[in-house]
Amino acid sequence: MFLQQRTNLISLVFITALTGCSSTTDWPNLSDKMPDPSTRARVIERVDPTIAPREPDKAPTSITEAETLLASVTEDLIAAQEIYARALDTYKKVGPEQDDKVHLWLEAQLALTRLSQTVSRLDVILFDEKLARSELGLRVKEQKQRTDSLIVAERQALAAAKPAEIS
């Protein structure tokens, strides 16, 4: 019984391979030459190596460190909001028939994601019970909730304005 199943399996594999080699449709088959990768038009984007990645924030151990972190994040939030506003304005100014509309929409999405990532830096303050209960922790919580609400609203607005070319 095992020998018969094994023979059937080998026959099935052989017939499948033979069918793949002799196909006459426009589907690729095993007798086709390998495509030349140099003929493909590819754009490979790499991170700029001159810009060092930002180190993750260390958990603050005092109110002073938390205030310093909050000030840094607030500055970065303002910059990220400005970048998002510019990206969104650029997207809105483009006519519906222009080729780069999808690209500009994706740029706005990326800017909004960076804004979201920036506000998440405040989590290290909120995860510390002592800091979260302080007056500073309450301010951080308010700022995070306000920014998170803005991000959710903007994500919904961007989703509604999504170009038809993106499925």
Domain range list for the chain: 67-160
Query: Which of 55 and 29 is assigned the larger pLDDT?
Result: 55
Work out whether the CA dihedral 94, 97, 99, 102 comes out positive or negative: positive
Which residue in 111, 130, 114, 131 sits closest to 69, CA to CA?
131
CA 167 from centre of chain: 16
Q: Which residues of 22-35 are buried (b: 16+ CB within 10 A; e: fewer)?
A: eeeeeeeeeeeeee
pLDDT in tens, 12-39: 777 776 665 555 666 666 677 776 766 6
Residue 140 confidence class, pLDDT cut points 50, 70, 90: very high
What integer pLDDT is reported at residue 8 of this predicted model?
74
pLDDT in tens, 68-115: 999 999 999 999 999 999 999 999 888 767 778 888 999 999 999 999
> Is the separation of the CB atoms in 119 and 73 below 8 Å?
yes
